[in-house]
Structures are given as C-alpha cells and as structure tokens.
Structure 1
Amino acid sequence: MTAPFKAAAVQAAPAFLDLDAGIDKAIKLIEEAAAQDVKIIAFPETWLPGYPWYIWLDATALYMPLVPKYAANSIVAGSPQDKRLAQAARDNNMHVVMGLSWNVNGTLYMGQWHYGPDGEVISRRRKLKPTHVERTVYGEGDGSDMVVYDTDLGRVGALCCWEHIQPLNKYAMFAQNEQIHIAAWPSFSVYEGGAYALGPEVNTAASQVYAVEGQCFVLAACATVSDEMVEALCDTPVKQQLLKKGGGYARIFGPDGSPLGEVIPPDQEGLVIAEIDLNMIAIGKAAADPCGHYSRPDVFRLMFNNKPSPPVMAFDNEDTREFAGTDGRTASQTTQDGAETAT
C-alpha cells in the first residue's frame, strides 16, 4: 500500500518564442503547485518555447523566417535554462515533467524532460514520430525514448499528443507497468470546426482511454493559445479563422477512466490538481490487464526495439559496438536506466 499524493496538470499559454520568459513562468507554476502540496507536475507539449502553430497556417517556405528564432529559443541540455528547471524541482521537492523543443546540435526534437525532486534528470525523451507537418520542424525519436521509469512516487512514463493514438506505442508503455502517465498536448484550437480529429473531444478521449487501457493515472497537460500568440501568428483573416484563442483542456484521469480534479474553462490558465492513490490501480488490473492476464500472446505479440538508433555507431578496439543516444547515454546505460521491456 502506498500513501496518496497530489498531482497537477498545467493549462497555460507559453511565453511564445521567449525561452527565458518561459522558464520564469514555469517556475511560478511549479511554486504555485508546491504551495498546494503537489508532488508531480506535468507541462504541455513543446511548452518551451511554445508549439509552432505557424506550421499549420501557411506554406513551409513562408514560415522559414521564424526558424532561426524558434531554434535559438529551443532548450539545450546542460544549459543555464536546463539548470534553472532542475533547481526549481529541487527547491520545491517536486517531480517536474516539462514539454519542450529540444535542440541537439541544430536538430530539434519534441521533448519531455523529467526532473526528480532532488533536481536530478530522470529522463529526457523525444517524440517517436512527429505528426504530419510537425515533421518539417522536428526529428524523430527511437525505441530508447519509450521507457517507463521507477521513481519514489511510482512508475512514470510520458508521451506527446498523437503518440496516444498509436496502439503499439501504448502497448509498449503498458507492458512496463506504467502507473503515472504524462500526456502532453499543445492546445485544441487549430482548424476549429474543420478538423474534428484535432479537437478537444477526440484528444481528451484519447487521454481518458489511455488511462482505462493501461490502468494508470493520466496527467493530461494542455496549453492555451494567448491573444499575443494570435496577434503574432495570424496576420491575415484566413489565419485568424484557422487558429483561435484558448483551446486548453487539461485533465486528470484515474485508472478506471474517471475524471479527477476541477476542470478549467478552455480560455483560462491554471492547474488541474487531483489526489493520486496508486492502490486504486489494483482494481483496474483485476478487471482487465491487456499486458497480463487479459492478453493472448499465443495470438498477438509486440516486437519492441528499445535500443538507441543514432546515425553514428562507434566501435572500440575490441570491436564491440557502443550506441550513443542524443542525451549522451549509451545503449547499455539506457537499458540500465530504463525498465525491462517485453517483446
């Protein structure tokens, strides 16, 4: 039996294209959560320095002038901004899972960085497959990014946005006995009324179904689009119709799919806070565990390559391979840091 604790999902607009201002705002939200005795806080997708909504509003060539600024405000591991986030986690004795644009030697990745309450980095993961036009901005992750980690609160994993509609992604995470899942979403206000699949009903349902399928708690953080972002990005009447203010639908779901915490209006900022009791997972597992007693491995199995796949493989003098990941970990370290994964 474990003691219940409080968790928070952020619903707030980013400080768009201003990394340092975004760090300032993040720290304020972390401190606000700490004042309410929150032990883990989840931030939206690419909240630092903001989701690049311009990729949905115009031709690729026309938004190229924004590329240098977006890259310059994408965070680098080991940077002063990284250290400030680590310090905030340590100062507030809190797990912080931040959604961000991660700059690795010029290539950007849709990242989620998990800082422990001691300020140490638990994980740095990349979105396995950026969605649609996101691939004009970001690179891809690999199997080493699909890991659930043991922490003092429980087993924690994370995915971004439409990674939640990829059945094999989900099964790989469920198989690692995930208990607390961080779902990072960018906002549900683009193509409003014209693309139902991008709206709040479908994507909130994806977070809720994830909780039921995985018998885990889901902290679904969701950003909002601010007036300032609309003014900066929507310089024509057509663009003003394509991207609307608001779109925040942060939620927390229990392992039976039940909504937890108070809902915030979609055009407002705040924290959705709920109590997490991991003992309740046992009830869900008893009914249906798709990776356990409710599975049929004689009929269906998942092949899961959880090794890093870097573009360069170095061979040492003994002709043994060492795979270096983008965060500096080797394949052996990735296996040690992560969980045993089923194939």
Structure 2
Amino acid sequence: MTTPFKVAAVQASPIFMNLDASVDKAIGLIAEAAAQGAKLVAFPETFLPGYPWYIWLDAPALTMHNVPVYAANSIKVGSPQDKRLAEAARAHGIHVVMGLSWNENGTLYIAQWHYGPDGEVLSRRKKLKATHVERTVYGEGDGSDMRVYDTDLGRVGALCCWEHIHPLNKYAMFSQNEQIHIGAWPSFSVYEGGAYALGPEVNTSASRMYAVEGQCFVIAPCATVSDAMIEALCDTPVKQQLLKRGGGYARIFAPDGSLLGTNLAPDEEGLVIAEIDLNMIAIGKAAADPCGHYARPDVFRLMFNRKPAPAVMAFDNEFARPLEADVESPETTPAE
C-alpha cells in the first residue's frame, strides 16, 4: 500500500517569448506548489516561452518576424535556464514536469522535461507529432520518447495536447503500467465557438478518458492567454476575434474519471491541487485493464518501435560489430 500525496497542475500564462522571465515565473509557481505540500507540479504545453499562437492567426509568411525571437527564447539542454529549473526542483524537494519549446541545434520541439526532487533530470521527451500548423514551427520525436519512468512517487509518463487523441499513443503508454500521467495543454482560446475540437469540452474530455482507459491519475495543466499576449499577437480586429484572453482549464482526474481538486476560472492564474492515492488504481484495473485481462491479443496487437531514430548514425555505434566478433562470440550480439 502506498501513502496518498498531493500533486499540482499549473494554470497560468508565461511571460510570452521571454525565456528568462518565464523561468522566473515558473520558479515562483514551483515554490508555491511545494509550500502547499505538493510532491509534483506539472506545467502546460510550451509554457517556456509560451505557445506560438501567431501560427493560428495568420499565414506563416506573415509571421516570420516571430521566428528568430521564438527560437532564441526556446530552451537548450545545459543552459543556465535548464540549471535554474533543476535547482528549483532540488531546493523545494519536488518533482517538476515542465512544458517547453526545446531548441536542439536549431530545430525546435514541443517537449516535456522531468526534474526529480534531487534536481536530476529524469526524462526529456519530444512530442511525437506536431499538430496541424505546429508543423511550421516544430520537429517530431520518435518512439524512444514514449516511455513511462519509475520514480519515488510511482510510474510517471507524459504526453502533450493532441497526443491524447491518438489511440496508439495511449495504448503504448498504458502498456507500461503508467500510474501518474502528465497531460499538458495550451490554453483553449482560439477559434472560440467555431472549432469544438480545439475547445475545452473535447480536450478536457480527452484527459478524463485517458484516466479511465489507462486506470491512472491524469494531471492536466493548461496555460492561459494574458492581456500582454493579446496585445502582442492581435494587431488586427480579425485576430482579436480569433484569440481570446483566458482559456485556462487545468484539471486533475482520478482513474475512475472523477474530478479532483478545485478548478479555477478560465481567466484565473494559480494551481489546481489534489491529493491522489495510487491504491485506487487497483479498482480500475480490476474492472478493465486494456493491456492486461481486458485485452484480446489474439485479435489486436500494437507494433511499437521504441528505438531512437537519429538522422545520422556513426559506424562505431553500439550495434555495429566486426563480422568475426559475431562469429566467435554470438552471445555478444545486442538483442533487438
């Protein structure tokens, strides 16, 4: 039996396209979550340095002036900002799962970095497939990112936004006995009333169904759009109609789909905090485990390529062996 503990989902806006200021704000929220007893705090999709809403508001050719600024404010591994986040996690003794734009050698990725309470990085993952116009900004991850990790709190995994409406993504994660899932979302602020799939009704339902289907707790942080972001992005009446202030719908769901914690108003910043008890997962598993007793592998199976897929692979990588070595010592051949 495990002991219940508190978790927190962030609902807030970044300091848009200002990495250092957004890290400052994130560290304040980390401290606030820890002060309220949370053992884990999760941040929205691309909280650092903010979701690039301009890609939904105009043609890419007309928003190219944002590209250098957004790239320069996308975080890099080993950067001072990376180290500050790790130190904040360590100083407050809390797990931090940060949503961010990752700049890796010039290509940007929607990503989630998990810092442990000792300040060590537990995982860095990239969104498997950027959605719709996001592909004008971001690259893609690979199967090696679809992983669930053992931690002192339980088995933790993470996905971003519409990764939650892809059935195979979910099944791959469920198969790894995920107990705590971070489902990060941007704000639900664009095309209000005209595209329900982009609104809170559909997407909060996706988080809830993930909890039920996977028999896990889902922490679903969600950003907001600030007045400053409206001023920076909406320079025409049409854009002002397309992007709305607020849009925050942070949620925490139990394995039975029940809503935990106290929700905030869509335009309110803060934390949704709830106590979770991993012992409750057993009830969900007893009823329907789609990767266990409720599966039908004789009818359906998922083929899952978990290998990294680098664009360049050196000849001296670990899978390359001299032919004679394979003949003399077959047991040294790496397993698939």
Question: Same fold per TM (> 0.5)?
Answer: yes
1:198-221 CA distance string (max 9 Å, x none): 000000000000000000000000
The 5 A counterparts of 1:58-207 are: 58-207=58-207
Show structure 1 runs of 4+ deviating over 6 A.
none
The secondary structure found in structure 2 opposite 1:314 is: coil
| Offset, 1:164 | 0.1
CA distance in 2, matches of 1:96, 1:318: 32
Aligned to 2:264: 264
Residue number in structure 1 paired with 2:328: none
Partner of 2:65: helix, strand, or coil? helix
Q: CA RMSD for the aligned pairs?
A: 1.3
> CA offset at residue 113 of structure 1?
0.1
- Structure 2 match to 1:34: 34
Q: CA shift at 1:282, angstroms?
A: 0.2
**Deviates further, 308-317 or 132-141:** 308-317
Superposed CA offset, 1:169-193 (max 9, x none): 0000000000000000000010001
CA distance in 2, matches of 1:97, 1:149: 12
Amino acid at match of 2:46: T
1:298 aligns to 2:280 (yes or no): no
* 1:55 Cα deviation after fit: 0.1
Shift of residue 196 of structure 1? 0.6
Residue by residue over 1:246-288, the C-alpha shift from the partner in whole angstroms, topping out at 9 and shown as x without a partner, is 0000000001100000010000001000001000000000000
Identity of aligned residues (%): 81
2:325 is matched with: none
C-alpha distance in 2 between matches for 1:2 and 1:152: 11
The CA deviation at 1:291 is 0.3
Structure 2 counterpart of 1:216: 216
Counterpart of 1:328? none
Q: Which runs of 5+ in 2 are unaligned?
A: 322-333
Q: SS of the counterpart of 1:124?
A: strand
Alpha-carbon distance, 1:315 to partner: 1.3
- Counterpart Cα distance in 2 of 1:315 and 1:305: 21
**Residues of 2 paired with 1:187 and 1:317: CA distance?**
42
CA distance in 1, matches of 2:92, 2:301: 42
TM-score (norm 1): 0.93
Larger Rg over CA atoms: 2
Instruction: Report the Cα offset of residue 318 of structure 1.
Output: 8.6
1:18 corresponds to: 18
Structure 1 gap ranges (5+)? 322-334, 336-342
Deviations 1:15-68 (A, max 9, x none): 100000001000000000111110000000000000000000000100000100
Q: CA 1:237 to 1:317, structure 2 compared with 1: closer, same or farther past 3 Å?
A: closer
- Structure 1 Cα separation of the partners of residues 263 and 70 of structure 2: 31
Tell me the CA shift for residue 6 of structure 1.
0.3
Distance between the aligned counterparts of 1:167 and 1:314, measured in 2? 34
Name the amino acid aligned to 1:257: G
- Displacement of 1:316: 1.4
Q: TM-score, normalized by length of structure 2?
A: 0.95
User: How far off is 1:290 after superposition?
Assistant: 0.2
Residue 43 of structure 1 corresponds to 43
The letter of the residue matching 1:39 is K
- Give the AA of the match of 1:188: F
SS of residue paired to 1:71 = helix
Return the letter of the residue paired with 2:290.
P
Q: AA paired with 1:302?
A: L
Please name the residue that 2:274 is paired with. Answer: 274
The residue that corresponds to 1:54 in the other structure is 54
